[in-house]
Each structure stands twice: as C-alpha cells, then as structure tokens.
Structure 1
Amino acid sequence: MKNQKKILVTGGAGFLGSHLCKLLVSEGHDVLCVDNFYTGNKKNLEELRDNPLFEIIRHDVTFPLYVEVDEIYNLACPASPVHYQHDPVQTTKTSVHGAINMLGLAKRLNAKILQASTSEIYGDPEVHPQTEDYRGRVNILGPRACYDEGKRCAETLFHDYHIQHNLRIKIMRIFNTYGPNMHPNDGRVVSNFIIQALNNEDISVFGKGDQTRSFCFVSDLIRGMTSLMNSEDQFIGPVNIGNPHEISIFELAETIIELTNSKSKIIHNPLPVDDPVRRCPDISLAQEKLNWTPKISLKEGLEITVSYFDNLLKKAANGAFN
C-alpha cells in the first residue's frame, strides 16, 4: 500500500485506543498495539486478532520499549477517577515516565508522536468555555492531581522535546468522550448512568446535578485525533477535541432514563472533592486548523452506546463476558 505507515498505539486495548487501532488498520496501516491491560481489554480488539496488519504486545510504558515505527500515538494511562485514583503513584508514573520513554523512542526513530492529553489539565475552570491558552485551576494535592498533574507534566515534556530536539509532536486535549468499548465499571458518568438505567437501579447524581459536561462520541473524537496527527508539522497544538454542546448531569440522567425506558429514579449524593462545576471546550482552533467539528448528536451517540451496554449485560448474564 502506498503511504502505509508502521504505527504504535500505546494503551491500544483501551476505550479510545481500540477504536484508533481499528481505524488505522482499516486505512491499511501496520499497527502495533501496546497495553499492560490494567484497564484495557483484548475483547475490544477481537475483530483485529487475525488481521496481518495488527499486532498486540503486553508492555508497561513506564519501561523503555524498543520497536521500529513511523508514528506513535501515546494513549497509555487510566482515564477514569475510579481507576487512576486506585494507584495514584503509578498513574503519575504512567503519564510522566511513559511520556519520557515514548519521546525517547520517537527521538531515536525520528517518528512523529501524539500525546493524548486531557481537559482535566484545566481543573475546575474559571474560564468558560475553555480555550487552549487558559492555564487552568488545578489542586496539586487533591485526589485528582495524580492524573491532572501527570498529564500537565507530559505536555511540558512533549513541548520541551520539540524545542530542544526538534521532535515532531502533537498535543491533543481530550474532553469527555463516550461510546462502545467503554469499561462498564470505570465510574464514568455515561457508562454509570446507562448501566444503572438498564438494570432499573437508582441513578446516582452528585450534588444537584447542575454541573455541566460536554460529551463527544468516540468516532468523532478519533477522527479529530487522526486529523491532528496528519496535520502540518508546524501545528503542534495543544488543541481541544470535544463536543461543545453543554448539558447538565441531571439532564443527561433524564435523557438516558428516557432512551432506556428505565424505571430508575434519580438520587443525589455528595459532590466529590475537586469535581469541576463546568467543563466545555472551545473548539475554534480545531475548526480552523483541522477543519474538524463533531457530527454525531448526543441522542444518536447515546442510542448506539445504550445498545452496546445492553448487549454487554446480556452476554454477562450468559457468562460470555469478563
């Protein structure tokens, strides 16, 4: 294939990584997926198992990796609070040591490398919507700091490698994303609400539920990710990728109850420490530089995601899913 690349995806068995691997293989690229399976799952990549363009190895990015590739997508890191707070030291090491190891690999190979950063670097923002030049408001000693500060440090490392070694880098700040292959027990709001609704359990909303989020469907997010990687080298980011449609958590719960015809009731629990009140991206830069904007509406995306979790629960009931 003309223009075929060898592409490394760290965290490739996770939610976002598995969708990225599938897209890259479908485009004819030779894809190496690296994952330590802390939150990733081989079942997410079942359809690629026998594809000659796809290879998967178990590896922790906090240790050096020696492979030959043209591009690197660095996605490795647990991304939901329930997982990244379980072992905060390891979370920070994954972001920082993982970035150092992947940047070192990219430098040796002269490979282009993309960092999957996060909207969490903005913390509980005072600026709304968030633009890329906003420096954030993060509690460096809070329960979310291992993830927030780890990702912030990774961005610094990427930028410094670019300045000091002329490395070709891309920095992408990912806002809330949802869709098939989300871990059913990762504690994220969309998966939580859908699982609770499908089981007709009470839906747990923190506080009054008036805090807002913006939710991007996974196919839109991955399209933004590859658009950034394939953009001109002079544009390194950081760039926000997310859906600017803002919705309150209470409205989200009501929408999911309606879509699932659930008998669930909404209950209110205390707000977690440092939970952001508002979170919404300004995507002007992505629109200008990448000609990117999300296409999937929240209702359409939720219908697809509800169907995925409904099938997952049925398989689990039959002992077919772990």
Structure 2
Amino acid sequence: MASKRVLVTGGAGFIGSHLCERLLDEGHDVLCMDNLFTGQRRNIEHLLGHERFEFERHDVNEPFVVEADRIFHLACPASPVHYQRNPVRTVRTCVQGTMHALEAAREVGARLFIASTSEVYGDPAVHPQTEDYWGHVNPIGVRACYDEGKRCAEALAISYATQYGVQVRIARIFNTYGPRMHENDGRVVSNFIVQALRGEPLTLYGDGRQTRSFCYVDDLVEAAVRFMEADTDATPMNLGNPQESTIERIARAIKDLSNSRSETVLRPLPQDDPTRRCPDISRAGELLGWEPKTGLEEGLLRTIEDFARRLSLPEGALDTHDELEGMPHAGV
C-alpha cells in the first residue's frame, strides 16, 4: 500500500512490535500506542530512534483521537496468566477499548483492523473451526472475561460498520508464537521453552493429546497486513496455521531442539481449556492469497534462540518460575 500514517494499539506487545517493524519497512509512519501493562518497552527499543516511528504511552480504556489512515487495534492482554489476573480490566479493554478505537476510526475515516481471537469459538464442537461457527463458550467461566469480551468486541465492530460505515477487518487470530513472546505468559510455547532451557520439568496439562495449531509471528503479520488492505468486507476471517499438533508433540520438539534433559510431568486440565483448536483458513487463502510459510521446527528454533538470549541475563532478571508454576498453557 502507498505510504500511510498507521496507529498500532498494543504496539509494544509480542505481535504488535513485529507489526510495527513490518509497517516501517514498508515506508509507513507508525504511531505505537501501549500502556505497557503486558507490552514491553524492550520490544520496541530498537525502533525509538527511527524517524517515522513514535511511541505514546496510553491506555485504550481512555478515549483518544489520532490522525491515521489505518488503525491496527491489538491492545488487550491475550494470555490466561495476564487476562485472568484482572478480569474486569480485561473485559473493559475488550469492550471499552475497542469502542474507543472504533470512535477514533470513525472520527478520521480510518480503516480499522480488530485483533479478535480463536477463543471466541470456546471449546469447539466443530472441527476445524470455520468463520460461520458461532462457538461453544462458557459465559461465566474463568476464561469468560477474554472469550466473551472479544465476542462483544466483534459485535461492536459490526455495529459500527452497519450504523456508521466504519471500515472494519475482524481477524480471529489463532495460536501465534515467535521471538519476543512474554516469558511468563503461561502459553504452550513460552512455558515449554523457558522450562526446557532451565532444565525444569515440562508441564503438560491433561494427557498431552489435546491439540493446537501454531502460526509463526512473521506469517501472522503478513496475513494481517494483507487483510487490512484487501478490497473485501469478508469479516471475520480466521488467521492461523491449519497444521494441527498435539501438546505432547510440541513439548518433545522443544526438548529436542533445545538439547534439554527435562522430563515431562502431567497436571490436571484447567477449567474450560479447549481440547482441540484448529482454523479453517480457506477464506484467507481465497481472498488474501495467503498461507503460512514457516515450518514448525524452523519457527521453534528461532524462538528458542531468542529466549536463550534473554534467559542469559543476570540471575533473577527473568525470574518467571514462581509465576509459571501451576499456570495453564493456552491462549493466542
């Protein structure tokens, strides 16, 4: 796309920081907005001196006005460890934060990309999940603050599109991994890598045969950029990798790739944790000409190397063991 002014909310987060890089590489002016609740300044530190990059510390739960042609709205805690820590704040961010993003887009006529999630499908009765599946979600469970918050965010986006003509792109993002994942976010890949590098037991919840599909972050960002610029109103759209893997297989791969001697231990499956999760990406393939390119082993190796660099910091600098212990691995 031609050079534009682009706002990325949650731009100091895992996916957001990679997206900011990509947009700068394409010649755009990028405003990164983040309250650093789960985002990290170190994710964007290398961008702070760039002439086309700005950082604004702001909470999307407070209104904002910005001059922008495009808005990527990614701001929200996305892992169970973070979104369950303060469920009221999570619901507010999903609902109120999204409304503020929609109002900002409406004010300046910007196109808005909404980062929704595969969690809207809950523990699915349909497999793989297609965009026309309405989901199987517990509205009062421990994950409801995020699951139902994102479902409401989708409803808000569609309502603004219908009533006010705001151009919206709703992306249902499935499990994504790669460099800059938060060390203590409790997700499958980050949990296993931290534990493997430290020689700690790899904690599998349930029997390890539940499945997820894992998309490398560069592939996800490619899909997001294409979706934003696509001349289509086909929304929502699944974005993820349709290659399904068991949790046990992921643990074994990470152990082998990191040359770890860690053993695996089984823990009870957390409440409402889905047993299968895999996207049907036919719509993205047809309309965006997109499919993931990065193989699981290649992506895991890059991610392990990134974690190994960070975990080589002085003792205690990344002390995540206490927070990781007993936390379920799930999330986008």
Separation (CA, whole Å) in 2 of partners of 1:321 and 1:91: 25
Q: Give distance in 1, aligned partners of 2:104 and 2:39.
A: 22
Equivalent in the alignment of 2:57: 58
Give the counterpart of 1:248 among 241, 246, 249.
246
Aligned to 2:307: 309
Residues 242 and 316 of structure 1: CA distance in aligned 2, closer, same or farther (over 3 Å):
farther
Structure 2: distance between partners of 1:217 and 1:114: 19
Q: Does 1:129 align with 2:119?
A: no
Give the alignment's TM-score, normalised by structure 2.
Answer: 0.94
Question: 1-side partners of 2:36 and 2:45: how far apart?
Answer: 14
Letter in 2 for 1:271: L
Contact 2:115 2:171 in 1 (8 A): yes
Equivalent AA in structure 1 for residue 238 of structure 2: N
Q: Which residue of 2 aligns with 1:291?
A: 289
The alpha-carbon deviation at position 169 of structure 1 amounts to 0.8
Q: Deviations over 1:156-179 (max 9, x none)?
A: 010011111111110000000000
Distance in 2 separating the partners of 1:318 and 1:273: 31
* Residue identity matched to 1:231: A
Structure 2 distance, partners of 1:137, 1:250, is 25
SS in 2 for 1:219: helix
Cα distance change, pair 161–316 in 1 and its aligned pair in 2 (3 A): farther
Describe how 1:130-169 pairs up with structure 2 within 5 A. Answer: 130-169=129-168
Tell me the residue number matched to 1:109: 108
Q: Give the equivalent residue in structure 1 for 2:327.
A: none
| RMSD, matched Cα | 1.4
Q: Distance in 2 between matches of 1:94 and 1:304?
A: 31
Q: Aligned AA for 1:17? A: G
Q: Is there any run of 5+ residues in structure 1 with no aligned partner, and where? A: none
Q: 1:321 to 1:251 in 2, by over 3 A?
A: closer
Say how many residue pairs are matched: 320
Residue identity opposite 1:27 in structure 2: E
2:188 corresponds to 1:185: no
**Matching residue's letter, 2:213:** S
| Cα shift readout 1:83-127 (whole Å, capped 9, x = no counterpart) | 000000000000100111010111110110000000000000000
Give 1:47 shift.
Answer: 1.4
CA distance in structure 2 between the aligned counterparts of 1:285 and 1:294, rounded to whole angstroms: 14
Which position in structure 1 is the counterpart of 2:276? 278
Find runs of 4+ consecutive structure 1 residues off by over 4 angstroms. Answer: 318-322
CA contact (8 A) 1:312 1:321 kept: no
Alignment partner, residue 329 of structure 2: none
Amino acid at match of 1:205: L
The answer on 1:14 being equivalent to 2:13 is yes
**Secondary structure of 2:172 counterpart:** strand
Partner amino acid for 2:311? L
Q: Secondary structure at the match of 1:314?
A: coil
| Residues 196-207 of structure 1: pairs in structure 2 closer than 5 A | 196-207=195-206
The answer to whether residue 96 in structure 2 is matched with residue 97 in structure 1 is yes
Normalising by structure 1, report the TM-score.
0.97
Distance 1:225 1:161 in 2: 20
- Residue 328 of structure 2 is matched in structure 1 by none
Q: Deviations over 1:41-70 (max 9, x none)?
A: 010012111001000011000110122111
Amino acid of the residue matched to residue 280 of structure 1?
Answer: C
Equivalent residue, structure 2, for 1:259 = 257
The SS at the match of 2:312 is helix
Contact 1:138/1:148, CA 8 A, preserved across alignment: yes
Unaligned runs of 5+ in 2: 321-332
2:71 corresponds in structure 1 to 72
Aligned match of 1:42: 41
Say if 1:106 and 1:113, in contact at 8 Å, map to a contact too: yes
Deviation at 1:321, TM superposition (A): 10
Amino acid in the other structure paired with 2:271: V
Which piece of structure 1 moves more, 289-298 or 236-245?
Answer: 236-245
Letter in 2 for 1:305: T
Amino acid at match of 2:157: F
Match of 1:3 in 2: 2
Counterparts of 2:210 and 2:155 in 1: how far apart (Å)?
29
SS of aligned partner of 1:69: coil
Task: State the one-letter code of the partner of 1:165.
Answer: Y
Cα shift at 1:236: 4.0
- 1:217-267: CA deviations, max 9, x gaps? 0000000000000100x3241110000000100111111111111110000
Determine helix, strand or coil for the equivalent of 2:311. Answer: helix
8 Å Cα contact 2:311-2:318 kept in structure 1: no
Q: Quick one: distance in 2 between partners of 1:128 and 1:216? A: 18
Give secondary structure in 1 for the equivalent of 2:32. strand
